Copies of this chain bind each other. A is one copy, B any other.
Amino acid sequence: MTDAATARRSRLTPERAAELYEAVLDLLREVGYDALTMDAVAARTRSSKATLYRQWGGKAELVARAIRHSKPGRISDVDTGSLRGDFLALVHREDDCAMEQNTALMRGLAMATHTNPDLLQAFREQVIEPEMTELRGMLSRAVDRGEVAPDNPALPFVVHMMIGAFATRALIDEQPPTQDFLSSYIDAVILPALGVPTT
């Protein structure tokens, strides 16, 4: 369902939906997923709980849609004409400060999915699958342009490579991912694995 469809179903304006999503993200940063309640969301946004449940079905879907909404544009909006340009544009959609905050948020949610199967499912449906579809579109344009061979064996692993960079940066290097780090990783790992020259 698109944001516009969500707004139609509930007669929420997109602006109002955006306000609700922002409040959910603020609460997530303050208390984490497990301690977040629909009561708290209702109170902070001056909504009724009935509205929230009718609109989103439950906490898991509300949180997943808030995350989806917080992304800085769609991957499919990025189309620079080269795969390297597309990857670097993705990395530069957020500045380092926003990226550090969002990485912390995503790490907390990834932890919460282990004990909340409904969150895992909503997260897959609302965030992971749409982003993977968009990313596959970006890669398939690179194949169409002849930049990447259609049978390149690294194509199915691009997401694994990317998430690896985010997930291990804190654990191994004790640093948040930054634009510089991710740009180096793209040039050193992802593009060579895909057989794309980096210069």
Contacts and interface: CB of A to CB of B under 8 A. Distances in A.
Counting every copy of the chain, the complex holds 2
A163 B157 contact: no
Interface of A is mostly: helix
A188 B149 CA distance: 13
B165 A160 contact: yes
Contact of A188 (B169, B187, B193): B193
A157 B189 contact: yes
A184 interface: yes
A9 B41 CA distance: 55
Contacts of A107: 114
Contact of A172 (B113, B114, B128, B169): B128
Interface string A130-162: 001000000000000000000001101101111
Contacts of A184: 153
Contacts of A113: 171
B153 A163 contact: no
B168 A185 contact: no
Contact of A111 (B111, B156, B167, B168): B111
B168 A159 contact: yes
Contact of A165 (B108, B110, B132, B164): B164
Interface in A180-196: 184-185, 187-189, 192-193, 195
B172 A132 contact: yes
Contacts of A164: 160-165, 167-168
Contacts of A157: 165, 185, 188-189
Interface of A: 107-108, 110-111, 113-114, 128, 132, 153-154, 156-157, 159-165, 167-169, 171-172, 184-185, 187-189, 192-193, 195
